[in-house]
Amino acid sequence: MMQLGQPIAQRRGVCKQAALPQRRAVVVHAAVASAPQQPAASSAFAHRVQGPIIMNGQVMHSITEERLDVVRSLEDGYLQTQVVPLLKPVDKCWQPADFLPPSEDADFLDKVHELRERAKNLPDDYLVVFVGDMITEEALPTYMTMLNTLDGVRDETGASQTPWAKWTREWTAEENRHGDIMNKYMYLTGRVNLKAIEITIQNLIGSGMDPKTENNPYLGFCYTSFQERATKVSHGNTARHALEYGDEVLAKICGSIASDEGRHEIAYTKIMDGLFERDPSGAMLAFADMMRKQIVMPAHLMNDGEHERKTGRNLFVDFSAVAEKTGTYTAMDYADIMEHLVGRWKVSERTGLTGEAAGAQEYLVKLPDRIRKLVERAAARKAKAKVIHSPFSWVFNRQVPLS
């Protein structure tokens, strides 16, 4: 007889008892990464160590059949009315060509010259952050793959007509425009080393990502809710900075991308709304589990093949430092997003929770302030530290300040 509450991998008869190797931590921001170790994840998710598949320290298929049924309950009425309508018809979407000089025009070269003149005012630290964001967007195949690892929501055929599959494919199609326009615009500016960027993109897609979502849609949609808001913040700030540097077209590009990310954020937070309403304890435990593990940024495995060899430092960490220094995406933004989601999902107001979920609720409510205190202490230490510069292959190895 099937035992309810048992992870689906165990019920399939494919699980073998395995030791869980120590996981390698990925530093997102120094201030966030320096947080004290949290207690082990709640037992509702901690039992994944005994039940689900564990391979090379990666946990898979941790959702229970009961919670998989909750996810399935969203598919028809809720997803169709609350989430899928947030996709835009293709003829209502902007396209990269809307922002670029038409190559068929007789004055194409004149317009490219104007674009390059505008781009001359973009400083190297801006270019590094923009390119890092662009590389992140260009790794879109990884993100579609990640969504299709989630139990109960994946596109089983590649052209499935379920609302989940429709969302994943059309979300991917909308996101595909982002990397396209950013890449083409940077190519026309002549300000960046496109081959070094292309190597980084290929390496990143080849490396994949491990957001520690365990094929579990509860965890997966917590992750995507956080990430879409983070990308909205980052692109919104690159838009504002581009305007300050006098490139109105680039500002419109970044603003248009940020608008898409905001719409996608709403969709993913609505999915979690549905889970919180139907299973508040399960959703609370999942949210706390992801925050204890910390949100790993999707491009954390970026590698240009030379940065670490030349500097002895990690490329993603250095890119993140420039993003922090320029105010594009910061550790304070991380705390703000956390606080926003706590409010958005009414974490402090949820009642009728299990004892374990109530503990997760208390942890989540206090976490934003704890993160801010860590950030403030890290900022005080950084203010006394020596300024560090690093070359970036993306800008022809010019030196860019990290702090």
pLDDT digits (tens, 9 = 90+) for 10-37: 444 443 333 333 333 333 343 343 333 4
64, 142, 231, 328: which one is catalytic?
231
Asked whether the beta carbons of 222 and 286 are under 8 A apart, the reply is yes
User: Residue ranges for the binding site for Fe cation?
Assistant: 137, 175, 178, 228, 261, 264
CATH number at residue 47: 1.10.620.20
- Output the pLDDT for position 239: 99
List the domain range (segments joined by +) for residue 34. Answer: 8-401
Asked whether the beta carbons of 298 and 209 are under 8 A apart, the reply is yes
125, 247, 261, 318: which one is catalytic?
261
- Output the pLDDT for position 52: 67
Residues (pLDDT < 70) of the chain are 1-52
Catalytic, 260? Answer yes
Q: Provide the 3-class DSSP secondary structure of residue 260.
A: helix
Q: Is residue 305 situated within a structural domain?
A: yes
Q: Provide the 3-class DSSP secondary structure of residue 391.
A: strand
Q: Is residue 111 situated within a structural domain?
A: yes
61, 264, 300, 307: which one is catalytic?
264
124, 174, 180, 228: which one is catalytic?
228
- Output the pLDDT for position 272: 99
Q: How many CB atoms lie within 10 A of CB 48?
A: 25
29, 61, 178, 300: which one is catalytic?
178
Residues 175 and 82: their CA atoms lie apart, in Å, by: 20
Catalytic, 94? Answer yes
- Output the pLDDT for position 385: 85
> Over the stretch 193-228, which tens digit does the pLDDT of each residue have?
999 999 999 999 999 999 999 999 999 999 999 999
Q: What is the pTM of this model?
A: 0.87
125, 138, 175, 324: which one is catalytic?
175
Q: Is residue 3 situated within a structural domain?
A: no
Asked whether the beta carbons of 371 and 331 are under 8 A apart, the reply is yes
Angle at 58 between CA 54 and CA 59, to 5 degrees: 55
Residues 306 and 196: their CA atoms lie apart, in Å, by: 9
47, 75, 94, 210: which one is catalytic?
94
Catalytic, 104? Answer no
Q: Is residue 91 situated within a structural domain?
A: yes
For residue 7, list its beta bridge partners: 64
Q: Is residue 2 situated within a structural domain?
A: no
Residues 301 and 208: their CA atoms lie apart, in Å, by: 7
- Output the pLDDT for position 134: 99
Domain total for the chain?
1
User: Residue ranges for the binding site?
Assistant: 137, 175, 178, 228, 261, 264
- Output the pLDDT for position 7: 54
